[in-house]
Amino acid sequence: MKGLKAIVSLLLVAAFSVTAILGQTAHFDVAGMDTKTSACADFYQYANGGWLAANPIPPAYPAWGVGNVLNERNRDVLHDILEAAAKNVGSHKSNNEQKVGDYYATCMDEAKIEADGLKPIEAELDRIARINNQGTLQDEIGHLHSMSLNAGFGSGSNQDLRKSSEVIAAIVQGGLGLPNRDYYIKTDDRSKSIRDEYVKHIAKMFELMGDDAAKSASEAQAVMTLETKFAEASKPPVELRDPEKNYHRMPMAQLRDVAPSFDWFAYFQRVGLVQKADVNVAQPEFFKAFDAQLTATPITDWQTYLRWNLINATASGLGAKFVDEDFHFKGTILQGSKENLPRWKRCVAATDRALGEALGEVYVEKAFPPAAKKRALDMVRNLEATLREDLGTLSWMGDATRKAAIVKLDAFLNKIGYPDKWRDYSTLSIDRSSYVGNRLRVNQFNERRDWNKIGKPVDRMEWFMSPPTVNAYYNPQINEIVFPAGILQPPYFDASADDALNYGGMGSVIGHEMTHGFDDQGRQFDATGNLANWWSDTDLKAFQQKAQCIVDQFNGFEVEKGLNENGRLVQGESIADLGGLVISYAAFQHSLQGKPRPANIDGFTPEQRFFLGYARGWATSIRPELARLLVSSDPHPLAKFRVNGPLSNLPQFAAAFQCKDGDPMVRPEKDRCVIW
């Protein structure tokens, strides 16, 4: 997301790739269990141990999970659409069909990409080479930002946190090539090793661009020195989750007091903001440090840094030597993958990222019929009714807070499957002359679209994920829950499966996103999306004590020797996991009322299948490199802890599997986290 959009997603994609070839069906496969492990000792292993043992991570993936069957099915559908669009060059093509077909075709044209070399970015390299003073330096930073190459910092439109009906400008900390500031600052051996590899990677890229080895090594050090200065002034990931600490709205003219050396009026005109507007300076201390480096860092080092930003952003679309080096660091060093994905898979994903709604419009016609949308909406409404009932019974929540919570719940905007109005790409030019050229034009199109939002009414119907995406999100500034068609498929949502699996799978996802409206971040926004406190002091203190229970639990989960989950970083997602399970389980129980009790399946009760369905959705093998990256930067816990963590708090789970006090999956009552 650009700017400071407080969207929180389920993040299934990191865990999900392919399993269809390995015998996974749409329903629960008991062969994937490990019944030698007690359900009450380690439920994640009990539910998934057989699957994990039978499914080693393929070389091209940093993680390999059950959800890949869905990711891969969706990718196959998109592949068929794109292959047909790329081959149909005639005049009967629709505007969107032409665009997705041409974009995909240029990505697949390896021969032309190799023959072009650096030609697609030569004009941009020439611009950087002509920088000779502060004026041309700052103009080039703005120019690169107009193409979504956010050198130095990030920027964009921002729905105002306290006035959710207004769209203002925002500038945020950034400028880093490593995942976050901790990679530059930590002194452990692993962090030092990654920094060393990063410097080698930068130097190698400059060599591939034609610089000699000595010059490239010097350039890499210059980049690392400047990025380290930015990192030292940046907030850590935990602090970035606090909207109050990242909100500093001011008139554009006041930016001179924060960063006086930078011509902000010229910058905003350069990126496409024509009127003077208020700006949220998310991290003022960072921009003071950025301003200092404008003059403290030599112009030649800034040129080197901007060249690095350009090649770093475009390398994956250039020739094989650039693609290989880019993957070596980002795929192998940071995530542990052994080889790159086949080109067609990368090109399908790239087209989805670039033209998600143009491609998604065809995808939903093939993969998401109206009946599926209706059933998904019915399930959402069932869970909302259950959460409303739950809010009415919470002993720790007072009446005034409870009333405000129910008002917020009733104001949820539900988005299911795909947008009601598709994005207009008519002004975007896509052709078959250059893949990187197409990428940069898409970036420019998106930047113009983003900046044009400022000063206009908020588009409450906009989507921030494409329809084929296997994920979901909650956006507190719209107060919306969003479920793309990509996740509303088997095994998460399957019309032919029993309700227990659907509620354990998709129901828990829906409940998760709903609960985000009331987690440590979401509870700070009211029903209209404004950052406002609607809690009594007593109720807020009670909630924070309950949230601290989650923090303490996850701090205790060991990823590897010497590395634990960061409870403060993952508390929002973990609160949502726990709430999603509680609400979905209650909704499932409601669905059984007035009906004959469902028969056991494969020897498991409906209640047991609910929890098995939930756990199987998170079955994931993960490489240690990716695990370390996620733990340091991602607010989502690792999959094993997303299962065993919340379930160990639930008496409903213990009852379903006859677990007893003292079992590892049963926390003592005094240590049990109970919020919903």
Catalytic machinery residues:
513, 577
Q: Which of 234, 255, 94 is nearest to 175 (CA)?
A: 234
Q: Going by C-beta distance under 8 Å and a sequence separation of 6 or more, which residues neighbour residue 308?
A: 177, 202, 205, 206, 219, 223
Judged on CB neighbours under 10 Å (0-12, 13-18, 19+), 666 is: buried
Tell me how far apart the alpha carbons of residues 19 and 297 are, in angstroms, rounded to a whole number. Answer: 50
199-211 as b/e: b if 16+ CB within 10 A:
ebbbbbbbbbbeb
Provide the pairing of β-strand 480-484 with 167-173: unpaired
In terms of phi and psi (left: phi > 0; alpha: psi -120 to 50; beta: otherwise), the region of 422 is beta
Backbone angles phi, psi at 4, to 5 degrees: -130, 55
User: Which residues, in sequence order, are CB contacts of 318 under 8 Å at separation 6+?
Assistant: 113, 117, 118, 120, 121, 436
Please tell me the distance from the alpha carbon of residue 293 to that of residue 198, in angstroms, as a whole number.
21
Q: 264-271 vs 134-145: helix axis angle to the nearest 10?
A: 40
d(CA 176, CA 302): 14
Cβ within 8 Å of residue 640, ≥6 positions away: 44, 618, 620
**Cα gap 151→140, rounded to integer Å:** 10
| Nearest residue to 359 (alpha-carbon basis) of 481, 442, 434, 444 | 442
One DSSP character per residue, 112-175 reads: HHHHHTTGGGHHHHHHHHT--SHHHHHHHHHHHHTTT---SEEEEEEE-SS-TT-EEEEEEE--
Residue 676 DSSP SS3: coil
Point out which residues pair with 564 in neighbouring strands. Answer: 558
- β-pairing verdict for 620-622 and 413-417: unpaired
